[in-house]
Amino acid sequence: MTAIRIGLLGAGVVGSQVLRLLQTQAAELTSRVGAPLEVVAVAVRNPEKYPDIDPAILTTDSAAMVAREDVDVVVEVMGGIDPAKDLLLTALERGASVVTANKALLADHGPLLYAAADASGADLYFEAAVAGAIPIIRPIRESLSGDRISRVMGIVNGTTNFILSAMDATGESYDKALKEATRLGYAEADPTADVEGYDAAAKAAILASLAFHTRVSAADVYREGISAVSAEQIAAANEIGCKIKLLAICERFIGEDGAESVSARVHPVMLPATHPLAKVDGAYNAVYIEAEAAGELMFYGPGAGGSPTASAVLGDLVTVARNKVVGGRGPRESADAQLAIESIDAVPTRYYISMDVLDRVGVLAQVATCFAEQGVSISTVRQQGHSDDATLVVVTHGAPESALAATVGRLDALDAVRKVTSVMRVTGDER
Amino acid sequence: MTAIRIGLLGAGVVGSQVLRLLQTQAAELTSRVGAPLEVVAVAVRNPEKYPDIDPAILTTDSAAMVAREDVDVVVEVMGGIDPAKDLLLTALERGASVVTANKALLADHGPLLYAAADASGADLYFEAAVAGAIPIIRPIRESLSGDRISRVMGIVNGTTNFILSAMDATGESYDKALKEATRLGYAEADPTADVEGYDAAAKAAILASLAFHTRVSAADVYREGISAVSAEQIAAANEIGCKIKLLAICERFIGEDGAESVSARVHPVMLPATHPLAKVDGAYNAVYIEAEAAGELMFYGPGAGGSPTASAVLGDLVTVARNKVVGGRGPRESADAQLAIESIDAVPTRYYISMDVLDRVGVLAQVATCFAEQGVSISTVRQQGHSDDATLVVVTHGAPESALAATVGRLDALDAVRKVTSVMRVTGDER
């Protein structure tokens, strides 16, 4: 049996676990693949940082490594767009299969990588790019390939879910919860990519592309993070039986003329506490899928961490290595639907709006008129307090985002409304 | 593009949905497979029952159909061991790939089918055999193939979960809940296969085989159904913060000498209400997996029904058809570990035991001695009531099943114990 020869890009938190699993499970993996898996090169920036790795396979020349004709599979766990993009293109172009955990690269340049893989007949696998150890790419790409997915909603960022769960459990502020997350290692020193939703947006782009057979890049994803979520909003959500979660939402719409379109977006939402996703706490991830034939599915598990991510990488590695042994290859890019991508303005959402109002006759009528004029239908209204601190809480039915945003602007300009204090999207059974 | 030619065995609840999806999604499927999928024959017993199917492709001669050299893929949704076994062997032996939803056949004769597939290089796929639309076979067989699974626990039978959920919600008896399930179509006229755990046991055998790379057949699975679960037990479970679920439990054990063994069993358990599986209600299925690197994963969705099951069949069909087009094949049988299968007697479990006792000094000491003599350690004891209706509720720590069973026997024989009224296994964080 000729060994399948692996080149590893990166030996950090994930890469070191990939090496460990390859070593401790060598015999099992050989049996599953039909040939031994041999790591012939590990490309890193500072070899002296890796005393446990055989110096003979350590290299700083990643470009030379991916070009080596004797490397059958390149495993990329270094992250970032450059130089990962050029390295993987080089590998794919010469026919090496690629296993990558690089969500940003796939979200921005997926079609380019697919095209290179296609030209040479190589495999491109990326289970670890979304939701860590949770098998979600393969189920969407393969298990559900005979079905029609209408919606994907995911908690795909563990940092933000940890922070929101902590705020919910303790009532503390965003800043305090972020500090605690940083102290415990759930948030990075610069948490921007996580808390502002960039990480989740890249994953939303990948999920939407696969689910809807349509190219969706990170730039197509509407994005809001959680840094503006307040303790008061968390409390208000609980009052109406909801939890606030940062969701990646990918939806398929069917217009009145039958034309289909899709949307991908990341923002905080109020979700009924009874929804399966509302019960996912801490750093866990979960992805909820609605498909026409399959119905409602949910996948749950650890969304990050060296060892869980390495498990996903290894699963892909076994498949692409086995394909090298027996011939054949995995699924190619599936983008034949190429549905139009809706701007956020046109997407139907629901709003929770809380506002401080003057306690005088006719306020509710004025407020209701504001909604009506924008064609926004009201689901519930609740009035709290009296005189100086009267509060009105409105939850709308579904309406185009632009109409809702316009309504908020109009409300803010009303004399009777002292201040719109909180606006949050609501997701539930009603679209 | 030469079409991939499909022969369908059975056109009932699932088969008719398979035909519908093949028709309504013909264009998408062609694009994903790389060739059109064409149903060239549908074998049924009574053709007159299927006025919607083109008579030209309807046949009663299933043996001739599977032998047809121009049938590339056989899809089996007829169920039962005979004649399905011989039909699928014929198909596989001549190199046709097989997609089947037949859990009983796989649990009893999986290795035979794998061997036939292997000899001809055909694919054998069976996502629909366990947990309906939930992608679980592919995640275990492929996504987790680079990991080591230590435990699989599943709610894999919708009928029994519907009944137990109804008993929990209403407090009604098993008989009443079964009647309601039958009326609503969740239970068959003869519910034995479901309520006595035979269906779940077949699925447990399949899950254990895949998870542990070890041949486990239905006969290796210890099995108890739910027909003896009483309303009182459901109430008692709630009192200690638990739910009663019928679980398929597959575990890997590591002995003191490092030797590994496995167990597969189906029985009702008390599960902490906080466990993700405890929250799965109604006819839904869910499978919970613990893997060494991945950690805890859960998969949730509809476990039965024509359309969800057809979704799983179609996903497999796309894969095996694509393999026919591009060459290559899916995973083969993986049974290289061949771990010993523990008898239920040796499996460590925990018991909940409730007993009516005499209200006199020294009863607790006598009872505690019974446990100690069998080497069973007690976790909690609760005493309720006085004089004539004093009740003692004991929850044990983990101990071999045989020691627990022996303890119950000894308790029953004690003068101070009027009657052991309820025994139920408990599952939780402690093994």
Nearest alpha-carbon partner for B355 in B379, B390, B326: B390
- All residues of chain B having their beta carbon less than 8 Å from the beta carbon of residue A314 are 145-147, 293
CA distance A138 to A158: 21
In this predicted structure, what is the pLDDT of residue A359?
Answer: 83
> Strands B124-125, B97-100: parallel, antiparallel or unpaired by DSSP?
parallel
For residue A393, the surrounding DSSP H or E stretch is: strand A390-396
In this predicted structure, what is the pLDDT of residue A275?
Answer: 92
CA distance A404 to A412: 12
Which of B145, B252, B287, B329 is the best residue to mutate to test the A interface, defined by the most A CB atoms within 10 Å of its own CB? B145
Nearest-CB residue to A143 (from B315, B322, B328): B315
**What's the mean pLDDT in A25-53?**
96
Both tokens assigned to B220 = 């290796």
pLDDT at B110 over 60: yes
In this predicted structure, what is the pLDDT of residue B386?
Answer: 73
Does ipTM surpass 0.90 in this model?
Answer: yes
Residue of B nearest to A275 (CA): B279
In the block, residue with structure tokens 């800043």: A175
In this predicted structure, what is the pLDDT of residue A308?
Answer: 96
Q: In chain A, what's the furthest Cα-to-Cα distance?
A: 85
Is the Cβ pair B295, A310 closer than 8 Å? no
In this predicted structure, what is the pLDDT of residue B361?
Answer: 82
B268 close to B424: Cβ distance less than 8 angstroms? yes
Whole-angstrom Cα Rg for chain B: 24
- All residues of chain A having their beta carbon less than 8 Å from the beta carbon of residue B73 are none
Nearest-CB residue to A300 (from B17, B32, B298): B298
pLDDT at A390 over 70: yes
Q: How far is B149 from chain A (nearest CA, A)?
A: 11
Fold observed for domain A137-302: Dihydrodipicolinate Reductase; domain 2 (3.30.360)
Which of A17, A127, A145 is the best residue to mutate to test the B interface, defined by the most B CB atoms within 10 Å of its own CB? A145
**Domain ranges for chain A:** 4-132+306-326, 137-302, 344-426
Nearest alpha-carbon partner for A315 in A53, A37, A90: A37
**What's the mean pLDDT in A202-231?**
98
CATH for the stretch B4-132+306-326: 3.40.50.720
pLDDT at B431 over 50: no
Q: What whole-number percentage of chain B has pLDDT above 70?
A: 99
pLDDT at A430 over 60: no
Catalytic (active-site) positions of B: 203
Confidence category of residue B429, pLDDT binned at 50, 70, 90: low
> What pLDDT, in 10s, does the model give residues B248-284?
999 999 988 999 999 999 999 999 999 999 999 999 9
Is the Cβ pair B293, A331 closer than 8 Å? no
- All residues of chain A having their beta carbon less than 8 Å from the beta carbon of residue B307 are 292-295
Residue of A nearest to B22 (CA): A146
- At residue A258, φ and ψ (nearest 5 deg) are 85, -10
Is the Cβ pair A293, B276 closer than 8 Å? no
In this predicted structure, what is the pLDDT of residue B430?
Answer: 52
> Strands B390-396, B348-357: parallel, antiparallel or unpaired by DSSP?
antiparallel
Distance of CA A53 to the CA centre of its chain: 33
Both tokens assigned to B320 = 């095996």
CA distance B100 to B73: 11
pLDDT at B9 over 90: yes
CA distance B378 to B117: 50
User: Which amino acid is located at B281 in the chain?
Assistant: D
3-state helix/strand/coil string of chain B: CCCEEEEEECCCHHHHHHHHHHHHCHHHHHHHHCCCEEEEEEECCCHHHCCCCCCCCEECCHHHHHHCCCCCEEEECCCCCCCHHHHHHHHHHCCCEEEECCHHHHHHHHHHHHHHHHHHCCCEECHHHCCCCCCCHHHHHHHCCCCCEEEEEEECCHHHHHHHHHHHHHCCCHHHHHHHHHHCCCCCCCCHHHHCCHHHHHHHHHHHHHHHCCCCCHHHCEECCCCCCCHHHHHHHHHCCEEEEEEEEEEEEECCCCCEEEEEEEEEEEEECCCHHHHCCCCEEEEEEEECCCEEEEEEEECCCHHHHHHHHHHHHHHHHHHHHHCECCCCCCCCCCCEECCHHHCEEEEEEEEEECCCCCHHHHHHHHHHHCCCCEEEEEEECCHHHEEEEEEECCEEHHHHHHHHHHHHHCCCEEEEEEEEEECCCCC
Lowest mean pLDDT across A255-259, A368-372, A427-431, B279-283: A427-431
CA distance B11 to B13: 7
Active-site residue among A85, A103, A203, A324? A203
Where helices occur in A264-359 by DSSP H, the ranges are 306-326
**What's the mean pLDDT in B37-48?**
97
Which 3 state secondary structure label does DSSP give A153?
Answer: strand
**What's the mean pLDDT in B28-47?**
96
Which of B118, B147, B338 is the best residue to mutate to test the A interface, defined by the most A CB atoms within 10 Å of its own CB? B147
Both tokens assigned to A280 = 């996912």
Is the Cβ pair B135, A134 closer than 8 Å? no
pLDDT at A387 over 80: no
pLDDT at A227 over 70: yes
Kindly provide the b/e burial profile for residues B219-243, where b requires at least 16 CB atoms within 10 angstroms of the residue's own CB: ebbbbbbbbebebebbebbeeeebb
CATH for the stretch B344-426: 3.30.70.260
Nearest-CB residue to A32 (from B294, B300, B334): B334
pLDDT at B295 over 50: yes
> What pLDDT, in 10s, does the model give residues B157-173?
999 999 999 999 999 99
Both tokens assigned to B242 = 């638990």
Please measure the distance between the N-terminal and C-terminal CA atoms of chain B and give it in whole angstroms: 55
| Same fold: A137-302 with A344-426 | no
A154 close to A301: Cβ distance less than 8 angstroms? no
CA distance A63 to A67: 6
> What pLDDT, in 10s, does the model give residues B179-235?
999 999 999 999 999 999 999 999 999 999 999 999 999 999 999 999 999 999 999
Strand partners, A340: A261
Nearest alpha-carbon partner for B111 in B96, B92, B94: B92
In this predicted structure, what is the pLDDT of residue A431?
Answer: 41
Is the Cβ pair A300, B301 closer than 8 Å? no
Mean of the per-residue pLDDT values of chain B? 95
- All residues of chain A having their beta carbon less than 8 Å from the beta carbon of residue B314 are 145-147, 293
> What pLDDT, in 10s, does the model give residues B334-391?
999 999 999 999 999 999 999 999 988 888 999 999 999 999 999 999 988 776 678 9
> What pLDDT, in 10s, does the model give residues A75-94?
999 999 999 999 999 999 99
CA distance A93 to A121: 9
